[in-house]
A and B are shown apart, each in its own frame.
Chain A
Amino acid sequence: MEICCKINGEERKLCFEPHERLLHVLRRHGYYEVKDGCSEGHCGVCTVLVDGKPVKSCLMFAAQAEGKEITTARGLGSPESPHPIQQAFADEGAVQCGFCTPAMILCAHHLLQRVPDPSDKEIRRALDGVLCRCTGYQKIIKAVKTAAQRIGGEAK
């Protein structure tokens, strides 16, 4: 099968077998920032934004991505010019092994788009779908707050 979709702003053609999930197809096409932690919808590290909303890509058939806009962590920023959320994660010590980080950042991004100044509770709820075994989440929550402040500051 073949479909067209937009990934990180670029038109892409994806080729795959009909039964394949988006996660595995994305990784095979070089989007390694989309991680596989369970392939069964429980860990969230495979999260991507589909038309702006966080989706566990291991639960979505690749075929369902036809015509959609997909964003991964690499679509938000690069080492030369990281997104403020990526920068905040690095500055606050929210990145340990980094395996959950791309998904955490995408969930945070979705949250900050809707709620520019989120409470602790709102951050916890927004990130609840992604597991992290390294950090105890404290510095991740802090990083989202810092990012919110920095983005808010910029907007003013």
Chain B
Amino acid sequence: MKDFKVVGKPVRKIDAIPLATGQPLFTDDVDMPGMLHARILWSPYAHARIKDIDISEAERLPGVHAVLCYKNVPRVMHTTAGQAWPEPSPYDTAMFDRKVRYVGDRVAAVAAETPEIAERALQLIRVEYEPLPAVLDPEEAIKEGAPVIHDEPDCKYVLPIRWDPKRNIAAHVELETGDFERGLREAEVVVEGKFRTHQEQHCCLETHSCIAYVDPAGRLVIRTSTQVPFHVRRIVAQCLQIPERMVRVVKPRIGGGFGGKQSMIIEDVCAMLAWRTKRPVRLVYTRREEFMSAHVRHAMVLWGKIGAKRDGRLTAIELRVLSNAGAYGAHGMTVVNNTCAKTLPLFRCENIRWVADVAYTNTVPGGAYRGYGVTQGIFPMAILMDELAERLGMDPVDFWKLNTVREGDTHPIFEKLGEVGKGVAMRIESCSLPECIDRAAEVFEWKKKRAEYSKPQSGPVRRGVGMVCVAQGATVPLIDMASASAKMNDDGSFNLLIGATDLGTGADTVLSQIFAETLDIPVEDVIVYAADTDFTPFDKGAYASSTTYCSGMAVLKTAEAIKRQILKVASEMLGEPEENLRVRQKGVESKQSGKRVEFHEIAKHSMYVRKQFQIAATESFASPLPPQSYSAHFVEVEVDVETGEVRVPLYVVAVDCGTAINPKLAEGQAEGAVLNGISHALYEQYVWDERGRMLNPSFGSYRIATTLDAPEIKTILVPSYEPSGPYGAKSIGEVCVNGPLPAISNAIYHAVGIRLRESPFTPDRVLRALKGKSKS
């Protein structure tokens, strides 16, 4: 690794002390004079037409200031997906509609003096529903004769994307590279199977929160917990039919996002209520609402097939996918694209066939979730890899190493498919996956454990180990753009203004490290202000593993532009040509004469003395490539054959994120993602009744991992150097969330001989599988 001063160091997260000491930094940590409280009326039906709605009584209730429903707001078809324009998601959503499509769909909204009055007003709204047959299962939804969920004539895509709403198909995509049939004919061993992955809520501890108000100049200000401030500004302006210049979106500290806040879930309603009442309006989801009326990870049905030669080389891969979009298509196609585009380029295999459909159903809508399709796509692939290794009599470690990409490789999928559509050809310039596998195997003691647990075991608790590898490409190339501005202050410090959105990940810190490294200054001299559409330049927002890589490059370019200006002023001050000069520890010095001038002198000179100007710059970076990050996952499980319970005592993950700009924060990303994955695999589950109602919308019955569930997670960062990224960095946010689901399934197989192809691995599912096995 190259020698850096600030990059690669575990710099303390710049907002850690303010957060740890409880400063009021989040969206809802303010009160405003005259603030109203908003509540939303939810559909009790999975599918129904609203024959009529009467809001007059609610409007008359003292203390109520506005009631919204389809009758009194403009009908603007849009998508809630916070994606770059033009969005690759269908415009199938109106702020309020005459039809409801899932239990928890919006019917009306109220703003009132107190939350209690707002709640009472909801009860005064009279809705006449005409219930319609509902369809909850994606395989049923695409059958002939299924109820049509989007029968409104005005739903549409703004991009040429194949879909068929009459058949509940929100998107259809397919691809073939190489010659799949030939690859299959060449195969000497073939494994295949049907798989199912399940929905998952993001469970940010801070629910969706928004405060909107109209400022004295008549502009709408939206303070909101979002990953995508600029997209939210655009979508809210669209929904309210006001110019974008009338809208300002401010992102304070965010209490977790994980993709859940990459959609415009509540800002349109909150903004409309503020716009109508000219009063500040607060809308904060309850936990129950978060479960029932936000987005989830798409559940998918997947059919996988892999063929290999006897020597272990893969010859063909087939993946067919049916994704459950839920009631609306936000992120539907792009997530499913990534089951191919960001999942399969991990494998050294040219002959690939992939077909995917996205089905509307009358369930909670799917959306963006950390992993974004890779979580689902790698599940069948990694289990089939484990089966193949067994059939071929190879150790999984050797088998994965043989069949995963290396530095210098390319992959036909890169060019053919990206997240949105066509991809870009790419050579893999950085990949330390082979070392990741070796290092993790060693720390985990794979060989020893694999051999030991392969021996016959007795007693109720059986042990097993499993492993998988994952890749996840950074950014949506050619579409994602980030920018940064910076200016120099009198004392030689800098304001760094970025549209990038720190969700608690530490992005502000990482980006200030990149800035500080370039100018050779300490991080303390970088004052970060992030994500305010009035004051910071555009950034696509925090998604697609793009912040460190893409926003990082924008910051690097900005710092370099600033450096050029500084050198110019210094050259005049020192009377030496620029070529002789370099920045050094908050100053500029001459390589020849050794003369030096400090940054604060340069700043003052440029402000007050001669040829005055503000040292400042704005630069942008549009991502040309989607460099992949990699991770190798090793897990140990204990399966209780009497209770069906699965425990994870140890998890080792080795990650290649290029240069880790901040190793401590990078480890934190890996660990948080791994535990999220374990929690998804073992505990989390939406329980539905036959009418499409979620039966467990609470942390009491939808369980997520606690300190007592968390295994020891050992994280190993194995650096590589990505030439297209800032100081060699790639991304770290998502790649690790995808490993636990298949790794645990493989480990359970090793422990007790059952292949779990459907998640989650709850005690009853494990017991059923054990019973089935003992019968056969």
| A interface residues with partner B (beta carbon < 8 Å) | 28, 30, 32-33, 35-43, 45, 72-74, 76-79, 82-83, 86-87, 89-93, 95-102, 105, 123-125, 127-128, 131-141
Contact = CB atoms under 8 A, between A and B. Distances in A.
Nearest to B664: A93
A90 B707 contact: no
Interface of B: 10, 12-13, 15-26, 28-31, 202-207, 253-256, 258, 284, 286-287, 503-506, 664-665, 667-668, 671-676, 698-700, 704, 706-708, 710, 712-713, 715
A128 B708 contact: yes
B504 A98 contact: yes
Nearest to A45: B205
A37 B706 contact: no
B210 to A, nearest CB: 15
A139 B671 contact: yes
Nearest to A37: B205
A137 B710 contact: yes
A105 B12 CA distance: 18
A41 B700 CA distance: 8
B672 A93 contact: no
Question: Which of B29, B258, B672 has the most CB atoms of chain A within a 10 A radius of its CB?
Answer: B672
B160 to A, nearest CB: 38
B698 A90 contact: no
Contacts of A141: 707
A131 B205 contact: yes
Contacts of A131: 203, 205, 699, 704, 706
Given A35-B205, A74-B22, A127-B707, A133 B699 contact: no
A39 B285 CA distance: 11
23 contacts: A37-B205, A37-B207, A39-B287, A41-B700, A42-B698, A73-B22, A86-B17, A90-B17, A92-B664, A93-B668, A96-B506, A97-B253, A99-B504, A102-B20, A131-B203, A131-B706, A133-B676, A134-B668, A136-B676, A137-B710, A138-B667, A139-B671, A141-B707
A108 to B, nearest CB: 11
A136 B22 contact: no
A38 B13 contact: no
B510 to A, nearest CB: 12
Given A32-B29, A90-B13, A131-B699, A136 B205 contact: no
Given A37-B207, A135-B671, 14 more contacts: A32-B29, A37-B206, A43-B205, A45-B205, A97-B255, A98-B15, A98-B20, A98-B255, A99-B504, A127-B707, A133-B202, A133-B704, A136-B675, A138-B710
Nearest to A85: B20
A82 B671 contact: no
B671 A72 contact: no
Contacts of B202: 133
A138 B671 contact: yes
Given A38-B699, A73-B22, A133-B258, A128 B706 contact: yes
B668 A135 contact: yes
A102 B708 CA distance: 19
Contacts of B31: 28, 30
Contact of A43 (B254, B668, B699): B699
A97 B206 contact: yes
A91 B12 contact: yes
A32 B284 CA distance: 15
Question: Which of B31, B207, B256, B700 has the most CB atoms of chain A within a 10 A radius of its CB?
Answer: B256
Given A135-B672, A136-B710, A139-B671, A98 B204 contact: no
Contacts of B698: 38, 40, 42
A93 B712 CA distance: 16
